[in-house]
Amino acid sequence: MSDPSVDQLRQQLRDLGYLTHGIERWFALDPWSSRTFWSELLAVSAKASLLSSIFAALPLLAITILRNKPLALADAVVMGSVQAAGAFFSLLALIVLVALGLRRNPALAIDSPALLTGLTLLFSGGLSLSLVVWWSGFDGTPSSIELIAGGALIVVFFLASSVIVSAALLSFSIHEAKRIPMVHRKDQTLPMTAVAILIGCAIGAWSLTAAPEKPAHAPASIAVAATDTKVALIAVDGLTHDILATRKDELAPLGTIVATAPLAASRSAAERWATVGTGTSPALHGVHAIEGVRLATSGRVLQSVSRYAFAIDAIAAPLGLAERVPLPPTARRRAYAWELLAGRGVPSVAVNWWVTADADTPGLRSISQEALFSRMAEQMPNASPSELAIAIDAETLRRFDDAIAKRSPRLATLFLPALDIVLNRIELDSGAKLAASSTIVDGIVRVASSLRARGYEVILVGLPGEGQSGDAVIATSLAPAGRDASVDGIAPTLLNLCGFPVASDMQGRPFAGPTEERMIPSYGERGSAEDVAQTSEEYYESLRSLGYIR
């Protein structure tokens, strides 16, 4: 039986929803100056893009929810809509480009099984691969359920987009094909849309059921052992055992220098040091990233966002739906050891720690990292990144020394970021890097010696920085208590030295202080009512210039 005429095929395609003006005629003849051609091209491409983008948004939304659970329904709707919009415009551009490519070769009959299959699979496979690339932009390893859900939904997208894209390409080439393939002889729009909506509703319902875990609470009363030990903690990012060993003679007041394993699989400097300061795992303290995305619907800051999520900057930010911000202090759910102690009568000073707010109470003087970074960036607008980093360390040391002189705290701590910045985050030639790092380590040695002279027991902890190899290091003036020093034992050791019990939800155990170990279940969630939820633009720009945000 002979093939139907092109006019009959046009009518069938109209009935199935693929054509409205007979675009195949315009493709086969002379469409370039035709307004009808361009309107039909955009109409067919938009229809295919809209349906495909719904399926593309499903794995994007599911992975975002799993990475940031629990996610409120309104937040899930915003993220799903933004991601679907980004997918729509990307798909629209690609489909139009493919259609115009077909116009360059109108004799190509993609209705033949091999060519139709090859072209649609190539197109859909490329789109699916782009989702995998987007997925790879997250920090950290995906969980098993994320792998299963994300992988399954990407497969669903691949199958759906194959049908949708081939339908669009059929609309552009029916003049040469002269028949309609079996898969397109029934309109697939409604059933495929229904499937996508059902899957989306299931994801939304699941996000509602993913309630947060019940928060832990500290005991009503805590027994405290009497002690008058004064402790100082110096935290240095980018400091390894090999680096500190070259200054061993200058650190004689500390006595003990040991190499220890760094924290494994940390997503960022903020996560690593929040783990050190709180003693708890990232799952408990809640700090994962340096930068997050604040949603306008709830004000929540999402920390797990793909670095390839261009739709946030291109669509959500201009519409006021979301913005990228440095992680605010409200994101940290567990208190640092010195905050626990300050709230229970141990005078403390803390300078320049990640994810903290300024505080000036009888128990705690805290100078935030935001305040220091912003102040130095404002004072040195033309400084190079290395000069700014060294100046931040110098200002940290100055403010730390001033706070100790005024308050005489029992617990004092500071965080020094410059060594990591100079060695790992900015571009410097080897000579400049050596000179800058030597200057920074000189400051570390001086503050350690100064604290010992003031009668403080000193704990110096260093961790490898961004992409840096080597062992972590702990140097201390304290006598070992029969347990090897470890990075995750820093916070428990501070509590133990000040006579407080260690929480069982902390990862490590004390390596100095009283050997009789006392435990409580948890110190609970921190109170963050006085914390600021906003961070300044100056702080954000300084993080960018120092290589923390790329």
Query: Angle at which helices 35-67 and 189-209 pack, to 10 degrees?
Result: 30
- Is pLDDT of 17 > 60? no
Question: Global pTM?
Answer: 0.80
Q: Which of 330, 311, 325, 326 is nearest to 78 (CA)?
A: 311
Measured between alpha carbons, how far is residue 248 from residues 243, 255, 257 in Å? 10, 9, 8
Specify whether the CB–CB gap between 370 and 325 falls below 8 A: no
Per-residue pLDDT, 185: 47
How many DSSP H helices and E strands does the chain contain? Answer: 19, 13
Long-range contacts of the stretch 180-188 (C-beta < 8 A, 24+)? 180/9, 180/12, 180/13, 180/16, 181/111, 181/116, 184/16, 184/18, 185/12, 185/16, 186/16, 187/16, 187/17, 188/163, 188/164
The amino acid sitting at 277 is G
Is 70 buried (19+), middle (13-18) or exposed (0-12) by CB count in 10 A? middle
* Rg of the Cα atoms in the chain: 30
Specify whether the CB–CB gap between 269 and 495 falls below 8 A: no
Per-residue pLDDT, 148: 87
Q: How confident is the model at residue 70 (pLDDT cuts 50, 70, 90)?
A: confident
- Dist CA 510 CA 457 (whole Å): 15
Domain boundaries, the chain: 6-209, 234-283+329-545
Per-residue pLDDT, 156: 86
DSSP string, 112-125: SHHHHHHHHHHHHH
SS3 70: coil
- Dist CA 314 CA 24 (whole Å): 34
Q: How confident is the model at residue 335 (pLDDT cuts 50, 70, 90)?
A: very high
pLDDT in tens, 516-549: 778 899 998 887 544 455 778 889 999 999 999 8
Per-residue pLDDT, 202: 64
SS3 323: strand
pLDDT in tens, 74-94: 888 898 889 989 999 998 898
- Is pLDDT of 2 > 80? no
Q: How confident is the model at residue 485 (pLDDT cuts 50, 70, 90)?
A: confident
The proportion of the chain whose per-residue pLDDT surpasses 70, expressed as a percent, equals: 78
pLDDT in tens, 132-160: 899 888 877 888 888 888 888 888 888 88
Fold (CATH) for 234-283+329-545: Alkaline Phosphatase, subunit A (3.40.720)
- Is pLDDT of 175 > 50? no
Q: Which of 465, 418, 356, 416 is nearest to 233 (CA)?
A: 416
